[in-house]
Structure 1
Amino acid sequence: MVKKFSIILVILTLLFSSLIRTIEVSNNNFAFTSDQARDMLDIRHMVVSKIPKIVGPTTSINGVFLGPFWYYFNLPAFIIGHGNPATLVYWNIFCYQLTGFLIWLYFKKKNQTLAVVTSILFLLMPTGFSVTRYVWNANPMPMFTALFLLLVFDIIYKPSKIKKISLGIISGLFLQVEAAFAIIFLPFSLILLSKQKHKLNNIKHFLFGFLPTLIPQVIFELRHNFIMTKTFFNEFTGSSDMLGNNLSLITKITDRFLNFKNQLSGTLYLGTNLVLLLFVLAILFFIYQSKTNLKNTNKQANQLFLISFYFLITSALFYLIFPNKLKHWYLFGLSTPFVFIFASLFAQISKLKNKLPAILLIVLFSISLVNLIQQHTQIIKNEVFVKSTNPSNFANRLENIDIIYNSESYLIE
């Protein structure tokens, strides 16, 4: 009975969130700026010329390019949609929804409560809705981070050579999509693998998967006298001010705290202060639990909490080394470990004899759901059913394009 109810709940959430996401981008109601146009042109060049790309989009640092995986990730949608930008938007929505389903699929045999809550919170978090409203290389990081953390969980749960190689592969591929965030996957993975038995073999297997993903950019570097390496090194060491002036330690700590808090607020529709309070209580609860050895604890929830918490710590330490102010899109992926911590909290609290904490969490999640419905009802009412005045809106762009192309389709000759 519980399993059937869990399946129904996840399916309803999938349908509900899919409906909202689809309606909000319907009738070409999504952003199409120079970034999206650049990506479309590069992907089109691959399709028409049949020449593969060895570098991807440019970054905020002139002279530094991402890897090409972002282009190959969107290539199937581009071909299926005959170059229509809307197809890429729906493709990214599909992948996000699929990730939410995979979260449930992975945990369901380990713990039903953890599976359902983690999947639902991931599918319904504010950041998740925001990043699926348009296509940009920073936007898939919440779902890529989820896949990364699930594989980390599985390696701890049941380690194997192929899983460690796979961890290296996805760490390298995701690094090509948003290097400013996915770079954290590398030290986090190496620290994790060094803590397990046969640490040298673990690291060797990881690097066996990771290093080949760097080949396209190595080729580019060899052709261009290591321009990216030099530029990136100068920026990271503070020799360049392309991303702004170097911050003092106090300013840097303040900047990181505000950015982390901003990403935390994107996990539930409860307001920044309440979500921050809930996060602090979650940390305190797990500390208390570890000190008192509470009975009937959920091992899977504990493990997911620890993985997510240590990932946040690794991220915080890494960004303290980075000398410049953070761009908010660097941290889109942090919403995932925050959500996983809240899911772990609920799964753990649901095992307690005292059901009051679980009831309170259900009330909070219910309030978040009501706020979600109200907010997205307004978005649909004001931005979908009413013509957008935003010049970067693709529907508005089409009006200009139709004048030039005389309403021809996007068919690739």
Structure 2
Amino acid sequence: MKSASQMKKYLSQITLHIKEHYILLAIIFFVFFSRLLLIYEGIIPFSFDHGKDSLAILHMAVTKTPSLIGPWTSIPGLFFGPGWYYLLLPFYLIGGSNPVVAVWAVIILLLVQVYLMYRYVSKWGALILATAPYWFTISTSAWNPFPMSLISLLLIIILKKLRQNSSNSVKLFFWLGFVVSLGFHFSSAFAFFYPFIILFILVVWKIKFWSIKLILVTILGFVLPFLPQIAFDFRHNLVQTDAVINYFLSPPETTTPASIAKLISVFTNTWGEVLLAFLPEIRGLPSVITAYVQLLLGGATAIFAIKSRVWRDEKVREALLILIGFVGIPLIGFQFLHFNIWYLVGMMPAVVYFVAEIIKQLPKWLRISWASLLIVGAISYVINFHAVDKFIHAQNRAFLPIKIEAINAIREAAEGKPFSSYHYVSDIYDFSYQYLYLTDAIKGKRLPVEFAYEPNVAPYITQKSDLLQMIIDQNPNVASDEEPELIFYIVEEPQNSEFLEQWWDKQRYSEIIDEIELSKSVRLFVALPE
């Protein structure tokens, strides 16, 4: 009887928690299943960065060698921290090195953000994260800047807690420094602004931060995530330190100086991304109708917000200050520094937070309109993907399926004969094809005699020799020691026809005996060796 009573009490508590948090559970289930429907067939982008990162993670897994650095940055000689690699590594180990598992990691990051937004910031913000088109885009592919939205959200939460309760300031300042430092593992271009953003907000909120104790604790938190990079730098003659110094002393020519044209370009690109981060978008409708719906919704929201003077609400003012810090300060900085659209990921939680607080102040009918359109837009995203987009993406050179199809077609055409495989991609470096051949070899499939973007090219993948050695040692049957009897060329649709002509000039073959159109953007050529 006692055990039955305890079970009944336990079930009652579970039921109570479900009733209290059913909205959160509904949002989380929606995020999970909507993304599952988008990626379960493996139709994901898989090109330069995803392939390069996958090779680094494969090297860590196969050789059991930890990495002290992550992907390279746009500054020559400077690397991100290895956080991105360690975030993905467990998923690759569990998922058998399937590139799709990297996207699952990003989806889980979004689920964490939905929970944190709902629990500590805004329930409306959680709904926007689950449904707005921007959040679909960054949760259906894998790229190292994407965790920056989680980093910024964590900083917003810590800052809010500091304002609400300064009694735990020592612990919170430690985490403030720690999370800021983590940002340099994913996007140093945006993380660079975090100290300025935080200082601005602390000053406006009159939060004391100048005691020696708080400063030392913050520095300690900041240094810890940098330890792998510091160790790497000392082992390699301070190469990263020199790279940063050289960058600021002699900015690269690609860094456009501040000008009216750059101001317009930065603001235009930012505005487009910001709208995607919170406005509903109904896929499948003509773009004019979608724009009209967005204009009506945004216009009605602006009118009611101004009419009701939403800025008098303390939470709206708090969100506005966060918005100014996380959006305004980087926008000013990008006028003088290098700018790319993917640097904006870290801004978006502040945008969502501000819009969510505005929506809370609106009349009920307008709040219902927001919720309805966001949900309908998200559902239309999934429906349109299965009705239209997936068939286009599956044949697109930037996506995984056509690359797998190309390699399978090569193996079928080779009929067991030794072959070499060369690949033309617009990014030059064929990291994605390299990864697929190497993981095929781990599964026991035979390696090409040579596989690269051109014959006899100097090594351009630092991990490749180690991986080949380990794979062949474990299974010597995958090695190809003979001369190739066939040569295959995978040619992706060029962005510059001159580059493709130059690439063909470097290939070595006697004659092309077959040409196979795998899709409109990928062709396979079969040739005989010289």
TM-score range, shorter chain: 0.7 to 0.9
Q: Report the counterpart of residue 77 of structure 1 in structure 2.
A: 91
Q: Report the counterpart of residue 321 of structure 2 in structure 1.
A: 306
Q: Report the counterpart of residue 231 of structure 2 in structure 1.
A: 219
Distance 1:314 1:140, change over 3 A: same
Aligned-pair CA distance for 1:51: 2.3
Aligned-pair CA distance for 1:282: 9.2
* Kept after mapping to 2: 8 A contact 1:142/1:333: yes
* Kept after mapping to 1: 8 A contact 2:310/2:316: no
Matched, 1:199 2:210: yes
Matched, 1:339 2:374: no
Q: Report the counterpart of residue 274 of structure 1 in structure 2.
A: 295
Q: Report the counterpart of residue 379 of structure 1 in structure 2.
A: 385
Q: TM-score scaled by structure 2?
A: 0.65
CA RMSD of aligned residues (A): 3.3
For residues 357-368 of structure 1, what are the structure 2 equivalents within 5 Å?
358-368=364-374
Deviations along 1:25-67, one digit per CA (max 9) or x if unpaired, are 1221111113112212212222233322111001233322111
For residues 11-410 of structure 1, what are the structure 2 equivalents within 5 Å?
11-107=25-121, 115-159=122-166, 160=168, 161-193=170-202, 195-200=206-211, 201-236=213-248, 239-241=251-253, 244-267=254-277, 268-269=279-280, 274=295, 281=302, 285=306, 288-289=309-310, 294=312, 297=313, 299-322=314-337, 324=338, 326-347=339-360, 349=361, 355=363, 358-384=364-390, 388-402=394-408, 403=411, 405=440, 408=443
Larger relative contact order (Cα-Cα within 8 Å, sequence gap ≥ 6): 1
Aligned-pair CA distance for 1:409: 7.7
Q: Partners in 1 of 2:390 and 2:79 — Cα distance?
A: 35
> Percent identity at matched positions?
23
Q: Partners in 2 of 1:171 and 1:280 — Cα distance?
A: 34
List gaps (5 residues or longer) in structure 2.
1-16, 282-289, 412-436, 446-470, 475-530
Q: Which moved more, 1:145-154 or 1:5-14?
A: 5-14
Deviations along 1:164-220, one digit per CA (max 9) or x if unpaired, are 101111111121111112222222223444541252343332212002222222333
* Kept after mapping to 1: 8 A contact 2:77/2:240: yes
The count of aligned residue pairs is 387
Q: TM-score scaled by structure 1?
A: 0.82
Helix, strand or coil at the partner of 1:321: coil
Distance 1:62 1:407, change over 3 A: closer
Helix, strand or coil at the partner of 1:199: coil
Helix, strand or coil at the partner of 1:392: coil
Distance 1:124 1:247, change over 3 A: same
Q: Partners in 1 of 2:91 and 2:223 — Cα distance?
A: 27
Question: Counterpart amino acid of 2:324?
Answer: F
Distance 1:29 1:6, change over 3 A: farther
Q: Which moved more, 1:401-410 or 1:123-132?
A: 401-410
Q: Partners in 2 of 1:81 and 1:282 — Cα distance?
A: 50
Q: Partners in 2 of 1:223 and 1:345 — Cα distance?
A: 51
Distance 1:282 1:237, change over 3 A: farther
Q: Partners in 2 of 1:286 and 1:81 — Cα distance?
A: 53
Distance 1:289 1:78, change over 3 A: same
Aligned-pair CA distance for 1:5: 7.2
Q: Partners in 1 of 2:390 and 2:214 — Cα distance?
A: 50
Distance 1:18 1:360, change over 3 A: same
Aligned-pair CA distance for 1:232: 3.6
Question: Counterpart amino acid of 2:264?
Answer: T
Write 1 or 2 for the structure with the bigger share of strand: 2
